[in-house]
Structures are given as structure tokens and as C-alpha cells.
Structure 1
Amino acid sequence: MASLSQSPMSLTSLSNQSLVPRASFSNPSSVSLSIRGRNFPSIALQSRGRRFQFRCAAKPETVKKVCEIVKKQLALPEGSTVTGESKFAALGADSLDTVEIVMGLEEQFGISVEEESAQSITTVQEAADMIDKLLESKA
């Protein structure tokens, strides 16, 4: 295996050694990766105007539970709509509210969220994705 830190290598020499991932596009919203001859599943891309966003969607039941916890922690009225795309700040949450939401999620799902991860969560979907990832690694 080549080491990039010991000697500079050009992209050409790396690609000759099959260290550079190769991407193929089957259609404008799907990417397949191949590294060292190993193929990885396609990644779906969602169009957001002129940008694409990777999303490994959490289970719908996880998103639903997170929505309920966010509503409860923020004491939102019964008719309030909270979806995966809802941003905590747009729902009126400040940094303390976000900490309380994360604590509620930890308690509900029996997980422990690192402080760095907790600070990077800004939407319900991000929280649900993180929860599913932590539950998967825990299993």
C-alpha cells in the first residue's frame, strides 16, 4: 500500500495502483463506487437546486420518534408539524434546547452521543440518521 505522507505521488501513479476510488454514474441521481476492484452499493443523491446531498435515510419509525421527542422537548403546540427536514433553530430551539433534545434521544434510544456529534446535529433527519448509525454499531 502506498503512503502519501512519505513521498509525494501523482494522481496518475495512485490510479495505476488502484488506490483512488472510481465512481460511475448510472443516472444523474445515483453513484457507484469501486475501490481496489471492490464494488460498493450505489449511493442515492437528492437534488437540492444545483447541489446534491448524500443521504443514508434513517428508518421511518426512528424519524417519527425523534419528531415526537423534539415536539415534547420544545413544548410545541399539538398541531405543530415536525418533519425530518425540520431544523431545530427554525423550531425555536437554542443551544440549551438542543442539548436537552440530545439527552432525551439518549434516554429514549439507550445510546450515548459524543459531544462533537451532538453539536453537529441541526435537523431531525440528522438526529435520526445518527441514532440509527449508533444503534447499528451497538448491535
Structure 2
Amino acid sequence: MAALAVAAGSAISPAYRIQLLTSRRTTTCFAMMTQRSSFSSVTLHTAAKRSQVACSAKRDTIDKVCGIVKKQLAVDVDTPVKGETKFADLGADSLDTVEIVMGLEEAFGITVDETSAQEIRTVEDAATLIDKLVMDKED
């Protein structure tokens, strides 16, 4: 599955860069430069894998994390839990967050280091980290 990221250029030289992440190993970039004296152009190049994550977590990962969070925190069935939902907004304290991380480790067969676990605040944070750890585990 490909992900798409769009970034605007500077005010001096307007440009738009569209980044299509096609696999774990390559990134395809389309750069559109707009200048008054010339027509718009499109260039295509393949870049090496970057260490920065440019896309959000997969939908199925987010859905699975939402289910685990709801179960761990005994959240009411009618309470909406989405990617942007903060654990604290669901009444979770630091111990609850540790238990959530343990449940995620078990469900996804991964190990989350302490530093990364402390940075998890939302369902999206957890799902993005999980996708990264699963991808790293496969490499």
C-alpha cells in the first residue's frame, strides 16, 4: 500500500513535492516547480529509505490498537476511540499506559523499549510505533 505526503515549497520559489512511499526500500518523489518565466515541470527520482516516518499508521493497526485500549481500560462500548484519542482522555494513568503497552506487545509480537513507551500518548502514536517495529522485525 502506498502513502502520499505533500509539502509546499518556499515563498521565493514556489514548489510542491509529492512523495509516494511505494515500499520499505524506496520513495518516489514528484517535484513540481512553478516559476513565472517557465512552464510547470514534473521530475521523478527514487530516493533511498529515510529514517523519518512520512506516513501514519495503517488503518487495521489503528483499529486493533483501539480494541486493545478499550479492553485494557474497560471503556464503555459506546465511547468512541479513534487514532487521535489520548489515553489520558480515557482516564488512563501511567500504570494503565504500561499495561496497554504490554497488551500491544503481546498482540503484535513486538518489544517496545522504555523510551518509546514513554512517548506514546495517543492511539495513533501507538499504532505508528507498532507499524515501525513490525516492519523493522521483518527486515
Residue 139 (structure 2) pairs with residue 112 (structure 1): no
Residue 95 (structure 2) pairs with residue 102 (structure 1): no
Could you tell me which amino acid in structure 2 is paired with residue 88 of structure 1? F
Q: Using the TM superposition, give the Cα deviation of residue 31 of structure 1 relative to its aligned residue in structure 2, in angstroms.
A: 6.8
Change (3 A) 1:40 1:55: closer
2: CA distance between counterparts of 1:84 and 1:59?
A: 10
| Alignment correspondent of 1:70 | 69
Change (3 A) 1:31 1:61: same
1: CA distance between counterparts of 2:98 and 2:121?
A: 11
Could you tell me which amino acid in structure 2 is paired with residue 67 of structure 1? C
1:43-102 deviation per Cα after TM superposition (whole angstroms, max 9, x unaligned): xxxxxxxxxxx8521110000000000000000011110000000111110000000000
| Alignment correspondent of 2:134 | 135
2: CA distance between counterparts of 1:90 and 1:24?
A: 33
- The count of corresponding residues between Structure 1 and Structure 2 is 98
Could you tell me which amino acid in structure 2 is paired with residue 87 of structure 1? K
2: CA distance between counterparts of 1:63 and 1:109?
A: 12
1:46-57 paired onto structure 2 within 5 Å: 56-57=55-56
| Alignment correspondent of 1:7 | none
Q: CA RMSD in A?
A: 2.3
1: CA distance between counterparts of 2:54 and 2:117?
A: 18
| Alignment correspondent of 2:57 | 58
Q: Using the TM superposition, give the Cα deviation of residue 127 of structure 1 relative to its aligned residue in structure 2, in angstroms.
A: 0.2
Q: Where in structure 1 are there 5+ consecutive unaligned residues?
A: 1-22, 33-38, 43-53
Q: Using the TM superposition, give the Cα deviation of residue 107 of structure 1 relative to its aligned residue in structure 2, in angstroms.
A: 0.3
| Alignment correspondent of 2:12 | none
2: CA distance between counterparts of 1:134 and 1:24?
A: 30
SS of corresponding position for 2:61: helix
Give runs of ≥4 in structure 1 deviating > 2 Å.
23-27, 39-42
2: CA distance between counterparts of 1:24 and 1:72?
A: 41
| Alignment correspondent of 2:124 | 125
Change (3 A) 1:71 1:106: same
SS of corresponding position for 2:134: helix
| Alignment correspondent of 1:86 | 85
